[in-house]
Amino acid sequence: MLTIEGLKKGYEGNEILKGISIDVNKGDVISIIGPSGSGKTTLLRTITTLEAADGGHITFAGVDKDFEKLNGKDINTIRRNVGFVFQNYNLFNNKTALQNITEGLIVARKVKKSEAEKIALDALERVGLSDRKNHYPSQLSGGQQQRVGIARAIALNPEVIFFDEPTSALDPELVGEVLKVMQDLANSGTTMVVVTHQMSFARDVSNRVIFMADGHIVEQGDPKKIFENPSEERTKKFLTDILANV
Amino acid sequence: MDNIKLIINFLGQLLPAINITLIVSLSSIILGSLLGLLLAAAKMSESVVLRVLARVYVSVIRATPSIIMIFVVYYGMPMLFNNWFHTNIDGWNRMYFVIIALTVLFSAPASELFRSAHESISKGQMEAGLMVGMTPFQTFYRIILPQAFVVALPNFANSVVNLLKEGALTFTIGVVDMVAKAQMIVANNSGGYAWQTYCALALIYWVISLAVDKGVSLVEKSYQAKRKTIAV
């Protein structure tokens, strides 16, 4: 459904992504793990066109092109078929929880207001925040904001939702409620690509784990295999280090 | 007591000329804000040429005293029009020259405060807008602008009050605004009652700037109140 080949991206001579290829199939829940600075976030941002890639090819939602050749129309198509959940939530601060969700539906998708509100209420229901629909982001906890962020993404019914370290900015006691929502989504068949440091999520919820380091995909596969029997030394070391700290 | 009566009397004579002051100020604020918006956009544009031009423009304008700006426009523009467009604008209403001078003056601080307000809104707001499928312009208009507006408001009020005071120089090129009126009153009284006259004038300026401040704080409050009342 989504295929990326040889994706490259650098900043000021620094190569962050050195030719990444991934395949996402419908219903996949893919966790991307790896040390900080390995390019995980940059990978999500270049696939979703938030950042321009330097090289590589994308096949997605009818677009089949090299990244450098994407025109405005292609970029629009890609953006309209992805959802994005940000590390810092990035809810619209001047909109209520409900309006955060209806905004994209009404303005970008031209859905009727009443229809959009129905969809938004459904989405809020799914993340357990129906009673917070009229709250502004500043009146919500971090965990609640992130759940609204997730509701905003699912309401648009995208082909795939990207999560960029969705729990990293949260207080530890709020991580659980967000992970729970993500797990429900995964169980309902939503296609998800998740950059995460939550090893429990990677191991127990996803159907594939990608381990990245230094702008490369070092290893990918079944979570059971990656966590219990990684074939690469680099993966082994990362997992030993990170699991030692849990 | 007599003094108070005099001041009230002069207030009555000065107030009819407030029209000119308000027309000049309002036009300059509106036009200056629009120009300021363009300048702010130029300052944040990707083109180096635009950025440098905007920066030079702002630094020159900021360094120009308002009275000099008014004179430069008043004496310079007709010459410019004559030489370049072969048009005679000597007959223009003098008020236009003041409005042009004040517009130019106002655009510099306006551009600065628009730019800083825009930059105070996190980049993530734009990215979130793009990721729900909105265009950059839709996101700017619906998400960034309303937030930046609230940030810019107090500084904007400051600039407006400043402009109002600089507008008191309108009389220097012979437009009969409140200041010119005050001078006439003093002259008619052979130089008498000067301080009472100018006190009355100061009072009017004070009330206007008070009204601006009050208006701004009302808008700010209503913005905050809206957020509080909705979420109980």
| Distance of residue B91 Cα from the nearest chain A Cα, in angstroms | 49
Q: Is B142 on the interface with A (CB under 8 A)?
A: yes
Query: For residue B226, what pLDDT is reported?
Result: 63
| Distance of residue A87 Cα from the nearest chain B Cα, in angstroms | 10
CA dihedral B216, B220, B223, B226 (to 10 degrees): -110
CB-nearest to B131 from A79, A88, A138 is A79
**C-alpha neighbours within 13 Å on the C-beta side of residue A13:** 0
- Considering only alpha carbons, which residue of chain B is nearest residue A136? B227
Length of chain A, in residues: 246
| Token code pair at residue B179 | 């200041």
Query: For residue B225, what pLDDT is reported?
Result: 66
CB-nearest to B133 from A79, A90, A136 is A79
Quick one: CA dihedral A102, A108, A111, A114, positive or negative?
A: positive
CB-nearest to B130 from A50, A83, A88 is A50
Q: What is the pLDDT of residues A71-84, one digit of tens each?
A: 999 999 999 999 99
Query: For residue B231, what pLDDT is reported?
Result: 41
- A49 residue type, one letter: T
Task: Indicate if the pLDDT at residue B12 is higher than 90.
Answer: no
- Mark yes or no for CB contact B128/A84 under 8 Å: yes
Specify whether the CB–CB gap between B105 and B71 falls below 8 A.
Answer: no
d(C-alpha A39, C-alpha A45), whole Å:
10
d(C-alpha A195, C-alpha A45), whole Å:
11
Global pTM reads 0.82
Q: What is the pLDDT of residues B137-178, one digit of tens each?
A: 999 999 999 899 888 888 999 999 999 988 888 888 888 888
d(C-alpha A67, C-alpha A3), whole Å:
12
- Considering only alpha carbons, which residue of chain A is nearest residue B127? A50
Query: For residue A166, what pLDDT is reported?
Result: 94
Chain B residues near residue A50 by CB distance under 8 angstroms: 127, 130-131
- Considering only alpha carbons, which residue of chain B is nearest residue A135? B231
- A159 residue type, one letter: E
Query: For residue B163, what pLDDT is reported?
Result: 92
The mean pLDDT of B11-16, rounded to a whole number, is 86
Query: For residue A216, what pLDDT is reported?
Result: 92
State the complex-level ipTM. Answer: 0.91
Task: Indicate if the pLDDT at residue B1 is higher than 80.
Answer: no
Task: Indicate if the pLDDT at residue A246 is higher than 80.
Answer: no
Q: What is the pLDDT of residues A81-101, one digit of tens each?
A: 999 999 999 999 999 999 999
Q: Is B231 on the interface with A (CB under 8 A)?
A: yes
Q: What does residue B13 show for φ and ψ, rounded to 5 degrees?
A: -80, -30
The mean pLDDT of B4-18, rounded to a whole number, is 86
| Token code pair at residue A206 | 């996803």
The CATH code belonging to domain B2-231 is 1.10.3720.10
Q: What is the pLDDT of residues B188-232, one digit of tens each?
A: 888 888 888 899 999 999 999 999 999 988 888 887 766 654 443
Q: What is the pLDDT of residues A159-213, one digit of tens each?
A: 999 999 999 999 988 999 999 999 999 999 999 999 999 998 999 999 999 999 9
Query: For residue B227, what pLDDT is reported?
Result: 61
The gap from C-alpha A9 to its chain's centroid, in whole angstroms, comes to: 18
Domains of chain A are 26-52+82-244 (3.40.50.300)
Q: What is the pLDDT of residues A97-122, one digit of tens each?
A: 999 999 999 999 999 999 999 999 99
The SS3 assignment for A222 reads coil
CB-nearest to A50 from B122, B127, B227 is B127
Q: How far apart are the first and last CA of chain B?
A: 54
The Cα-based distances of A64 to A23, A37, A51, A58, A81 in angstroms read: 14, 29, 18, 6, 14
